[in-house]
């Protein structure tokens, strides 16, 4: 029996709904990097001293192979609309140069968007039709087709 959903925090939503959905979609724990630090926080200058802002941290980064991130998953509490996290996920994916950005509140399919200029939609399920193709080659192909520069 599913727990009563009202009042679930983001962490509880992740544990009860989002992580099981990622695992069911074919992602292993080694491919899901939680609390991925994007930066250490920007420096804000003031007349007397500099203040460091809070660091940017993505809820999850998805890596089909070690040290090859391809997407961000931004989690929201169960009662919060998943669309509230899409722009944040896209911003984080853009900062890291990743092609995929997702947001989920644990209900239904994650809201999926590309962080590129394309309007195509992609599912969070790992693409089994290209499983034999190395992940780096798939990312290179995406970057070439989207006009992005390849960094590897």
In this structure, is residue 50 part of a structural domain?
Answer: yes
Instruction: Give the pLDDT score at 42.
Output: 82
Domain count, the chain: 1
What CATH number is associated with residue 72? 3.90.1570.30
Is the per-residue pLDDT at 32 higher than 50?
yes
* Stronger pLDDT, 145 or 53, i.e. the higher one: 53
Instruction: Give the pLDDT score at 127.
Output: 47
Average pLDDT over residues 113-119: 37
Give 82's DSSP letter.
Answer: G
23 CB-near residues (< 8 Å, 6+ apart): 29
Task: Quote the CA–CA distance of 25 and 19 in Å, as a whole number.
Answer: 10
Is the per-residue pLDDT at 99 higher than 70?
yes
In this structure, is residue 2 part of a structural domain?
Answer: no
Does the global pTM surpass 0.85? no
11-15, 89-93, 136-140: range with lowest mean pLDDT:
136-140
Instruction: Give the pLDDT score at 67.
Output: 86
In this structure, is residue 3 part of a structural domain?
Answer: no
In this structure, is residue 125 part of a structural domain?
Answer: yes
Per the structure block, which two tokens stand in for 65?
């192979």
In this structure, is residue 17 part of a structural domain?
Answer: yes
Rounded-to-10 torsion of CA 131, 134, 138, 143: 160
In this structure, is residue 134 part of a structural domain?
Answer: yes
The SS3 assignment for 12 reads helix
Q: Give the whole-number percent of the chain exceeding pLDDT 70.
A: 67
Residue 56 lies in domain: 10-146
The per-residue pLDDT for range 33-89, each reduced to its tens digit, is: 999 999 888 888 888 888 888 889 999 999 988 888 999 999 999 999 888 899 999
Per the structure block, which two tokens stand in for 89?
């996920």
| Partner residues linked to 113 by β-bridges | 101
In this structure, is residue 1 part of a structural domain?
Answer: no
């Amino acid at each position: 029996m599913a727990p009563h959903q009202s009042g679930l925090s983001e962490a509880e939503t992740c544990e009860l709904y989002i992580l099981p959905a990622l695992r069911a979609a074919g992602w292993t724990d080694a491919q899901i990097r939680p609390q991925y630090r994007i930066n250490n926080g920007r420096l804000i200058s003031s007349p007397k001293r500099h203040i460091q802002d809070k660091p940017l941290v993505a809820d999850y980064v998805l890596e089909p192979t070690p040290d090859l991130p391809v997407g961000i998953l931004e989690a929201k509490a169960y009662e919060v609309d998943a669309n509230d996290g899409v722009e944040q996920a896209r911003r984080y994916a853009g900062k890291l140069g990743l092609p995929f950005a997702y947001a989920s509140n644990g209900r239904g399919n994650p809201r999926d968007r590309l962080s590129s200029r394309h309007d195509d939609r992609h599912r969070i399920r790992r693409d089994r039709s290209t499983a034999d193709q190395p992940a780096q080659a798939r990312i290179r192909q995406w970057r070439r087709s989207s006009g992005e520069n390849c960094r590897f």
